[in-house]
Structures are given as structure tokens and as C-alpha cells.
Amino acid sequence: MIIIPARLASTRFPQKVLADIGGLPMVVRTAKRVAHLDRVVVAADDEAIIEICEAHGVEAMLTSTTHKSGTDRISECANILKLDDNEIIINVQADEPFIEPEVVESLINKLKELQKKDEPFIMGSCYNAINSESAEDPNLVKVVLDNNNNAVYFSRSLIPYNRSGRANYFGHIGIYGFSKKSLKEFCNLSDAPIEDIEGLEQLRAIYHQKNITMLKVSSTGFGIDTPQDLARAIEIFL
């Protein structure tokens, strides 16, 4: 199951999920990008998003306007859909119109492997190698890993500090996967101070000592965080 949280009232870039990219609204283009992998539902906070999605043949449903995070939004959607506790749910961000389907599929397969091992908490995401110049961008979230490829920390800052001159940098790709049971558990965790400081909801899991399995992938896609990103995306479709 793929659920795309879509919020019209984005604080940094209002209504960006409806921005036109090559003749399609961004959220629609993202949904169609992965539609062949599984059922896709857009979890929206506004009827305008639902109307546009349905006009383009994309399933959508209305969720609360008060959710703090996209993860809380997809959890409400999963509950409305009455999904089984063992269902693998992938959170694809609405502002990822270039996400590679093979990346999403790889994450689905990785989480199914964890289920077979009876892991008590199933949450995963993806990363790729980035250069030092890209690592300086606060819009590109960095991740540090342990020896089991679990996330140690995520930050908008440059991490790790390159004192030795031998640092490798890993960029977080903004998709998440959970089992339905673990998604519910995550949303029931108390907020963590570090998630508000960084503005990164995944830090809640780390704060509460929950593993986030990280999968290394090859990806040239990029999220739309700024008007400059949107202009770059539009140029690709010209």
C-alpha cells in the first residue's frame, strides 16, 4: 500500500503539491509515478486536492487539517481504510515527482524481509551517497548509520564533521515504510525535542530507541522544496 500525504497549506511553499509539472499537478505526477507498484491513495487535507486527484484518476481521501506530520496523516488514512496490522505501508512524499519506482519497490521488499525475521518494530527508509557540496544544503537531509545500516541520526546540518578529511556523506531520500502496526506505534510515541529542533519527524523514532532500517539505493530524483526546485523540475519536462 502506498499512501501520499498531501497538505495544501505548506508553510514553506504554499500549494506546491498542486504546482504544474509538465501538464500534471505535482501530487498527481508523483502518484502516477508509482501507481503500477501497488494501490495508491492520496491522503489530503483539503477538498481541492481530492478534486484534482479524482479528475486525473487518482484515489484520494480527506484527512484532518490538524496533523503535525505526514506520518500522522497516513496513519489516519490507514485506519480509515481498515488496513491489516501486517500491511506494508509506504509513505511517498507528494513533492517527489521524480522518485524512481525501483527505489520504492526495493524498500517494500526490504521491509517484507524484516517481517519474516519477526522484527518487533518495522520502519525503513532510503539513502544514497552525496558529494560534500550537496551535503552543505540544509534542504537535503543527511543521515549517519551504524554497522547494521540503522539510522543513528538525521540532520539538516553537515554531518559528520569532516575533521579527518575522509568523511562520506549520505543523503536521505524522503520515503518511509512501516508495517501498519509499527506505524500506529510510531504515531503514539511522544514528540521528541530533537524532531522539533531539526524539523524532522523521523527523529522521534531514534529518540525512543526504535530502529530505522536504511537501504542504500541509486537515485537521481529530487524533492521540490523551493520555487527554484520547481523551476528545475519544469525545465526537465520542457
Q: Provide the H-helix boundaries in the chain.
A: 26-34, 47-55, 70-80, 101-116, 132-135, 180-188, 193-198, 203-207, 227-236
What is the reported pLDDT for 165? 87
What mean pLDDT do residues 11-31 have?
85
Calculate what percentage of the chain has a pLDDT beyond 70: 95
- Higher-scoring residue by pLDDT: 16, 221: 16
Tell me if 105 sits within 8 A of 28, measured CB to CB.
no
Spell out the domain ranges in the chain: 2-236
The pTM (predicted TM-score) of the whole model is: 0.90
| Residue range 60-114, pLDDT digits in tens | 999 998 888 889 999 999 999 999 999 999 999 988 888 999 999 999 999 999 9
List, as one string, the DSSP characters of 66-97. --SSHHHHHHHHHHHTT--TT-EEEEE-TT-T
| pLDDT at residue 10 is higher than 70 | no
- Higher-scoring residue by pLDDT: 233, 214: 214
Architecture of domain 2-236: Alpha-Beta Complex (3.90)
